[in-house]
Structure formats: C-alpha cells, structure tokens
Amino acid sequence: MTQVSGVQPSGRLELTWTNKYLRLLAHENGSYEWTHPGDHRVAEVRLLNNVAILGSTHSDRDRSKDNLLIRGDALHALTSLTSLPEFASDYVGKIKLAYIDPPFNTGGAFTQYDDSLEHSVWLTMMRDRLVQIRDLLAHDGAIWLHLDDSEVHRARLVMDEVFGAENYRNTVIWRRTTGKSAAVHSLGTMHESLLVYAKSAAARFRPILLPYDEKYLKSKYGQSDERGPYRLGDLTADGIRQGDSGKPWAGIDPSSKGRHWVCPNPNGVLNALPRNATTQEKLDLLLDEGYVRLPKEAGQWPQFKRSLNEEGGVAVGDIWTDINVLNSQAKERLRFDTQKPELLLDRIIRIATDPGDLVLDCFVGSGTTAAVAQKLNRRWVAVEWSRDTIENFAMPRLSAVVAGTDQGAVTKRTGWKGGGGFRVLDVHPSMFAVDDGRVVLADWATGGALAEAVCAQIGYSPEDDAPFCGHRGRQRLAVVNGLVNEGVVQLLLSWLPDNELLTVYGTAIDPECRNLLATERRGSTIKRIPQSVLDDYRRQARRVDTLWLTLASEASAKPTPARTGS
Ligand SMILES: C[S@@+](CC[C@H](N)C(=O)[O-])C[C@H]1O[C@@H](n2cnc3c(N)ncnc32)[C@H](O)[C@@H]1O
C-alpha cells in the first residue's frame, strides 16, 4: 500500500447510519421498534418448542441430524440456536452454508410481506442477524446474501464489518430476466446480486462445469481426432530457463524466442514416467500419446491438443445467465411472489457444501433452500416468521419433498424419490410481561416452564432431576416459584452431591438464607427472578462492547421511531 506521510489517520472504514448501535425489537405483525441492547425484549433467549414431526427423524441421541423448520423472527431463532446449550453444541460453528434471501427493501409490498423499511432499520435488522450467522458458521463455511440494487451497495459494507473485508470472495450476478422495456430514465435492470463471504481462508468452493454453447464449440473445437474435438494450445510459456525446459526439442529452441517448455499432464499420462524424467522425455511421451501436433511447416512450433472431453466444460464464474426466473408455467411455482428457482439453490449448495453438510436459511419463505438441500442430501435449518407462509407454503412443500411427490426442477435433475423428514419448532413467547410499567414473569412462566426459561437465560443445560432442573459444570440449578428461605436451602443442600455447587433462583428470597448457603457451600449463589435476569441482560449488553455502549448512549439521547411500512 502506498505510504502517506504526516499525521496517521485513526479509526476504521465503516458505514454509519442512524441508531446504528441500538437494537430492533421485531413485532409479530412484521414491524420493528428501536430499543436499547439491554432491553429484555431483545436480550432474552427464547425457548424453542417442538410443534410437529414430518417424515422420519432421528433418535434423541442423534437429534442434531434432524432438519429444523423454525417459525419465528430470525434473530430470536438464531439467538436460541447459539445460546441454548442443547442446541449450541450441535449448531455453533457447524453451518457450512448460509444462503439468505431477505426482503430486498425495494420500497414495495408483496402479497406475502411488506418490503419497505427505512434504510437504518433495514441495515440494523440485517447486521444483527448477520452477527448471529457468523457465530453459527463453520470455520470453513460461507454465507451467500441474495439482494438487488436497492441495498446491495450498503450491505456489502455491513458484510465487510461483520465478516471482514478480507473474507469477501465475490459478487455473483444472476441474470434473472432477458428483456426489459426500453430504457428511458435508467437502463433496464436485469440482474440480482449475491454477495459471497467466507468465514475464513479455509472455505473452499467446489468447481462446477457447464456445457459449452454450440457457437463456442464450433469456433474453438473445429478439429477432431480419436479423442473427439480438440483445440490447440501452447506448449511454451514466457521466460528463458537454464534447466532442460529451456533446451531444444523437436528442432525448436524455445530460448530463441525468450520462452521455455511447459508440459500439461492430460489424464495423468505423465505419471507413468519416473519422477526425475526430463522435459524432453515428457514431451516425447505427450507426442507418442497423440497430445501434440507437430507443425507442417518449418519454423512453426508444436502445439498441445486440448481435448473437449478432458476439459469437461466451462467453469462457472460470477455471471450466471443460464438459470431462468420461474415463469407462470413452471411446475415448481407455488404462487409465492419472491420464490427463487430450485436450480439457483442447487448450484449454490453444490458449490458450497458436500453431502451431509448443514445449510441455513433464516428467511426461507416458500422453503426453496430447504427443499433443495433435502434433495441433495444436505441437512438444513430454515427459519420464517410468517405463520401463513410456513403453513401455506414451506410446510406443504417440504412435506411433499419428504413424500417424493414435489414437482421441483431438482427432483427431476437428481431423480429424488423422497425420504427423510424434519422437525417443526416454534420460537416460544417471552417469559416476561409488563404490568403497570413493571417487568414481571409471564403467566406461563411457572413450574417446569419457568425452570427451562431460566436455564436458557443463564446458559445451563436443562435436566429433569428433581429438585434440580439444570446444570453447568459443577453447578446445579434449582428454580423455585415462591419464597426461598433457610428451610428450602437446607432441603436443596441435602440432595446436592458433595462436590457440586448450588445456584438457586426464586421469585422471593429471605435474606437470611444467603448467609446459610455461603457458610454451608461456598461458591453457591441465590438470585431473585426476574430481577437478577434483567440485570444480567444490562450487564451483558455493557460487556459485549464498550464502544457499542458509548455510541449507544449517545444515540439513545433521542431514539427515532422506526418506519416500517410504505
Ligand atoms: C425474499 S423472501 C424469501 C423467498 C425464498 N428464498 C423462496 O425461495 O421462497 C423473504 C422471506 O423472509 C421472511 N422474513 C422477513 N423478515 C423476517 C425475519 N425477521 N425473520 C424471519 N423471516 C423473515 C419473509 O416473511 C419472507 O417470507
């Protein structure tokens, strides 16, 4: 990089926007509300409820192999997968491909959802979900973010911030339409964009070869031999070499034109030679095997015969023109306005994953990503917050995939006959309610449900081992929906193994019992719900990033209302 003298600049290159360091609360009706990072409504870790099982799933021991269709806001669902110990161990760092096709923020409205957010709302909504996706991605995983021109330029800067500019791999241009009405004010837009970022340098993409088009074949592969059509290529490269690659062969001295020999190895034919074979021996073998065409006229150079069959096809690059948008007659069309073609997902999934890998889409809409992943024998997690969309599109579609009756293009391409299954989960309602301005426990948060909700907030693995309901390392958890006094503490201690510590949460605490616990089992704690959980949210929000807090408090002076509809 060119050095600039003088005072060195500080700070980093980033996109700023209104309320960048605040958070957004997603409401059931699809609107968002600005709030502070420590607000329980955004900090809470929601439980995930089993709602249904479709097709066949695995035994409890292999539960992580199940495909999941989760109904709820993507942020809640991703936070639960990241934070609930019973999910985190199976999903954090395990997602090989995240493909997301969020609302593009076109300023319009579709039959199934509105697509008009104020830019700052859209950017914050995306940033928060991208951060969670980053934690879920495997070290060799990648994310593909599908957008159009409405936000793609701003989104790329946010992606740089979340995934690191060094992990940007490419932008795939998908030409989705061929014709547009005559351009008067602007040129007709015919494409959408996919921003591709890797989690780290370890991510590898699998090359995909497409057949050559007829015109190209005719112009390049006009000649044929016993291996079929071939084109001619160089057997030399620029630069004089002192070794045997710079010495004459077949009467030609490559150094005379400042070049040296290079030996391609078609079909591994050269592997038959000893490791120390000279360049001339390799060229002789290539000639014997029919891979070299000697010139007819003196002074011309031998050429390499590049066979069409060995080339295989054109490698897929970053401009995709061969996948059509779904037309009204397409068999896989479900009347979901923004449904993407299965062949698009087929290509992405085959480039970014191997069979058995885990694919995530947290804006799954009609279920395209999950349907294709299932048919390509990948595991999947899909999230969608519209109940209507889940019930009328994703669930029936994925059930048909399991039954082998769906009409998608990938069914035909792969010969898919059905099989497997998936679990349907719901993001559980909040464990809190607001009563007269005070945050209290919701009506459902009692007994076992309260115990599970507390485990979720404090990162304990739930267990059914009365009087205990969770554990983390040597800590055992008891949740008491009522007063914790000395009697309760004595009872709990009488059940506690000698080498373990006690964590007690109660809705009311008699201060005397704190001393008792401190004396009887040092390192044990007693906390009051919901207060201590609410305090933890604020503390965690502060700890996450001091910079965040500074900027958030500046921004919090005047939170502006979020505009959510057009
Ligand atoms: C562009 S569509 C996805 C279409 C999908 N790729 C397909 O082929 O059917 C975006 C989807 O994201 C959903 N969505 C929007 N905001 C969401 C959020 N915060 N959490 C989860 N889903 C959301 C919308 O309801 C919509 O179904």
pLDDT digits (tens, 9 = 90+) for 403-433: 999 999 999 999 999 999 999 999 999 999 9
Which stretch of 68-72, 171-175, 251-255 has the lowest confidence by average pLDDT? 251-255
Ligand 1 in contact with 101 (CB < 6 A)? yes
Which residue's CA is the nearest one to ligand 1's atom 5? Answer: 365
| Alpha-carbon Rg for the chain in angstroms | 31
Distance of CA 23 from the midpoint of ligand 1 (Å):
20
Ligand 1: residue of 121, 384, 395 to mutate (most ligand atoms within 8 A of CB) is 384
**Relative orientation angle of helices 74-83 and 119-136, to the nearest 10 degrees:** 30
pLDDT digits (tens, 9 = 90+) for 190-237: 999 999 999 999 999 999 999 888 888 888 888 889 888 899 999 999
**Distance (Å, whole) CA 397 – CA 384:** 14
Nearest-atom index, ligand 1, CA of 361:
6
Residue 566 has pLDDT above 50, yes or no: no
Distance of CA 219 from the midpoint of ligand 1 (Å):
45
* Per-residue pLDDT at 558: 47
Residue 557 has pLDDT above 70, yes or no: no
Ligand 1: residue of 27, 105, 364 to mutate (most ligand atoms within 8 A of CB) is 364
Instruction: Determine what percent of the chain falls in helix, strand and coil, rounding each to the nearest 5.
Output: 35, 25, 40
* Per-residue pLDDT at 203: 97
Q: Do residues 77 and 48 make contact, with C-beta atoms less than 8 angstroms apart?
A: yes
Ligand 1 in contact with 365 (CB < 6 A)? yes
Determine phi and psi for 210, rounding to 5 degrees: -110, 150
Distance of CA 129 from the midpoint of ligand 1 (Å):
13
Instruction: Using CB atoms within 10 Å of the CB of residue 500, give its burial: 0 to 12 exposed, 13 to 18 middle, 19+ buried.
Output: middle
pLDDT digits (tens, 9 = 90+) for 356-397: 999 999 999 999 999 999 999 999 999 999 999 999 999 999
> Confidence class of residue 10 from pLDDT cuts 50, 70 and 90?
low
The whole-number average pLDDT for the span 29-46 is: 93
Ligand 1 in contact with 74 (CB < 6 A)? yes
User: Which residue did the predictor score with more confidence, 216 or 477?
Assistant: 477
Which residue's CA is the nearest one to ligand 1's atom 27? Answer: 365
Distance of CA 509 from the midpoint of ligand 1 (Å):
45
pLDDT digits (tens, 9 = 90+) for 262-311: 999 998 999 999 999 999 999 999 999 999 999 888 778 999 998 888 77
Ligand 1 in contact with 340 (CB < 6 A)? yes
Ligand 1 in contact with 366 (CB < 6 A)? yes
Distance of CA 117 from the midpoint of ligand 1 (Å):
14
* Per-residue pLDDT at 545: 58
The whole-number average pLDDT for the span 446-459 is: 95
Ligand 1 in contact with 336 (CB < 6 A)? yes
Ligand 1 in contact with 368 (CB < 6 A)? yes
The whole-number average pLDDT for the span 454-468 is: 95
Ligand 1 in contact with 113 (CB < 6 A)? yes
Distance of CA 74 from the midpoint of ligand 1 (Å):
9
Ligand 1 in contact with 236 (CB < 6 A)? no
**Torsional class of 473: left (φ above 0), alpha (ψ -120 to 50), beta (otherwise):** left
Q: Do residues 544 and 128 make contact, with C-beta atoms less than 8 angstroms apart?
A: no
- pTM value surpassing 0.95: no
Q: How far is CA 7 from CA 4, 10, 118, 433, in A?
A: 9, 9, 37, 53
Percent of the chain with pLDDT over 90: 77
Nearest-atom index, ligand 1, CA of 74:
20
Ligand 1: residue of 100, 363, 364, 369 to mutate (most ligand atoms within 8 A of CB) is 363
**Distance (Å, whole) CA 121 – CA 23:** 9
* Per-residue pLDDT at 565: 40
Handedness of CA 427, 428, 431, 436 (dihedral sign): positive
Distance of CA 103 from the midpoint of ligand 1 (Å):
6
Q: Do residues 387 and 9 make contact, with C-beta atoms less than 8 angstroms apart?
A: no
**Distance (Å, whole) CA 213 – CA 175:** 17
Percent of the chain with pLDDT over 70: 94
Ligand 1 in contact with 385 (CB < 6 A)? yes
Task: Work out the mean pLDDT of the chain and round it to a whole number.
Answer: 91
Ligand 1 in contact with 358 (CB < 6 A)? no
Strands 95-100 vs 319-320: parallel, antiparallel or unpaired: unpaired
pLDDT digits (tens, 9 = 90+) for 109-160: 888 888 889 999 999 999 999 999 999 999 999 999 999 999 999 999 999 9
Query: Nearest Cα to 538, choosing from 554, 527, 552?
Result: 552
**Distance (Å, whole) CA 241 – CA 258:** 9
pLDDT digits (tens, 9 = 90+) for 499-554: 999 999 999 999 999 999 999 999 999 999 999 999 999 988 887 655 555 544 55
> Confidence class of residue 465 from pLDDT cuts 50, 70 and 90?
very high
Determine phi and psi for 380, rounding to 5 degrees: -145, 155
Nearest-atom index, ligand 1, CA of 363:
12
Residue 53, strand partner residues: 423
